[in-house]
Amino acid sequence: MRRKGYADGRTFRAAVISEHLTLVLLAGSVILLLAVVAVRAAVRTGLPSLLIYLGIGLAIGDAGLGIRFSDAELTQSLGLIALAVILAEGGLTARWDTIRPALGPAALLATVGVLVSVVVTAVIAHWVLATDWRTALLLGAVVSGTDAAAVFSVLRRLPLRGRLAAILEAESGFNDAPVVLLVTLVVSNAWSQSGLWGALGTMGYELAVGIAIGLLAGWIGQQVLSRVSLPVAGLYPLAIMAFAMLSYTGTTLLHASGFLAIYLTGLWLGNSHLPHRHASIGFVEALAWLAQIGMFVLLGLLASPLRLPAAIVPALVIGTGLLLLARPLSVLASSLPFRIPLRDQAFLSWAGLRGAVPIVLATIPLATHSVNGELIFDIVFVLVFVFTLIQAPTLPWVARRLGVVADTEVRDVDVEVAPLDQINADLLSVTVPPHSRLHGSYVLDLRLPEGAVVSLVTRGDDTSVPSLHTRLAVGDTLLVVAADGVREEAERRLRAVGRAGPLARWFGESGR
């Protein structure tokens, strides 16, 4: 029997599918708008937005609006892809000159620190849950790594002195790789089959290949994008993300660490002098926000509010042990070679935020139907929710009490590059930030290389052609035209004057 208004059954089914997709798109748009508005509330309270997004997922789930969702495998797959996007954004927005001094401590925290945290947390979990060692080790591995999304969203609004922020940021970018490897080894039981040295060899291979491919993909991306002039500015961010995802997928297909690869590719590209760099980073930041929103809402949907109360006590005990014992011991073990002050170690211990990574990793035993898979997921979900609620809002207070808040620091100038193909030149858009030494300098003081010239200066609503004696001020936007061969030298000179003033060379500041 044909439905009224439709020629046949296939047309009717197509209409039903189309209507269903429209409703899904409508619901997704509403959730996205709510999540975007929630960012403002998160910024005001100092809470990571992940808590709000998880709450949205719980509110529209089984116990709320009644949306039923229980596909752990789909959540795991989408969650890992979302984490890859977030790590790409973290690498793109990290400054190499800031990260470089923190590489040693961050690398130890991401390896030795993770192992210490796993062992201590596993002992606590074994005692609290009275469970087998495999489940205890799995739980310890899942919650041992700090989370990139949580760390990036909180610490970038908190001015820390020295290299503290860089250590935490680099650690959260690096530790996903070994944590994922540990969880996979324990879930698959491969660690008991291949032995300790076999497991270490597997981890060494995956990390080494991840590093190699990540750096290679970043270098290739830099060479291509700096030499090819694309017809539309919007294609540059797409190309950057394409190189990042090629790095991730290619490494994953070689059974190596795609997370480490994509972070290093993003770090390389983000510190390269690419056309439309700032516009590209803005696009990738928006993409990372979208990934966070989708991932956390999906994880909230997957959680069962009816099961969560039973996980509260184990989560509180294990989380307290993780915060007050496992994390401080891992920081202490990783800090010994670098003589990091005790105040800094205390802050590093308190700032070890957990977020998306533990919950996504907890879907692995859930998706593989491992023993105690539901229990592990529920404990991790409650642990992340409660301890993020405790740690994140208190970070500014803890930082002030420990005396690790930085005084106002000089910010680098923002330089945006757009290629001018027909005259073989680049147009640099330079914004003078607060506390920059460019403020009060004259155009003459810039001493740009031959082939580079300040063509326009915009101050508020006024735009003028500057003379050599035009004095610059905070908030000014300079348009600098630089011949193709001198662009990088002009950028370095602008950064050098921004950091050290007109006498930058006398102070050994090169602007690199």
Q: What is the pLDDT of residue 174?
A: 82
Q: What is the pLDDT of residue 6?
A: 52
Q: Are residues 265 and 160 in the same domain?
A: yes
Q: Are residues 303 and 393 in the same domain?
A: yes
Q: Dihedral sign, CA of 310, 316, 317, 318?
A: positive
Distance CA(277)–CA(263), nearest Å, equals 17
Q: What is the pLDDT of residue 40?
A: 67
Of 387, 389, 363, the closest CA to residue 376 belongs to 363
Q: Are residues 441 and 481 in the same domain?
A: yes
- Whether 319 is in a domain gets the answer yes
Q: Are residues 280 and 338 in the same domain?
A: yes
Q: Are residues 392 and 421 in the same domain?
A: no
Q: What is the pLDDT of residue 1?
A: 47
Q: Are residues 472 and 370 in the same domain?
A: no
Q: Tokens 């961010």 correspond to what residue?
A: 237
Distance CA(166)–CA(106), nearest Å, equals 8
Q: Are residues 263 and 376 in the same domain?
A: yes
> Which segments of the chain have a pLDDT < 70?
1-18, 39-48, 63-64, 148-150, 152-157, 162, 189-199, 371, 406-423, 507, 510-512
- Whether 407 is in a domain gets the answer no
Q: What is the pLDDT of residue 215?
A: 94
pLDDT in tens, 470-507: 888 888 888 888 887 788 888 888 888 888 888 777 76
> What pTM value is reported for the model?
0.73
Q: Are strands 462-464 and 452-459 parallel, antiparallel or unpaired?
A: antiparallel
- Whether 150 is in a domain gets the answer yes
- Whether 110 is in a domain gets the answer yes
Query: Among 402, 433, 454, where does a domain finish?
Result: 402
Helices (H), 230-350: 235-253, 258-270, 277-302, 312-321, 327-335, 342-350
- Whether 171 is in a domain gets the answer yes
Q: Are residues 40 and 57 in the same domain?
A: no
- Whether 192 is in a domain gets the answer yes
Query: Among 402, 430, 450, where does a domain finish?
Result: 402
Q: Are residues 419 and 328 in the same domain?
A: no
418-424 long-range CB contacts below 8 Å, 24 or more apart? 418/233, 418/275, 418/276, 419/229, 419/275, 420/481, 421/229, 424/483, 424/484
**Structural domains in the chain (count):** 3
Tokens coding 120: 């201590």
**Cβ–Cβ under 8 Å, residues 352 and 140:** no
Query: Among 382, 402, 422, where does a domain finish?
Result: 402
Q: Are residues 260 and 155 in the same domain?
A: yes
- Whether 1 is in a domain gets the answer no
Owning domain of residue 318? 52-65+72-402
- CB contact set of 461 (below 8 Å; sequence gap of 6+): none
- Whether 2 is in a domain gets the answer no
Q: Are residues 151 and 16 in the same domain?
A: no
Q: Are residues 299 and 318 in the same domain?
A: yes
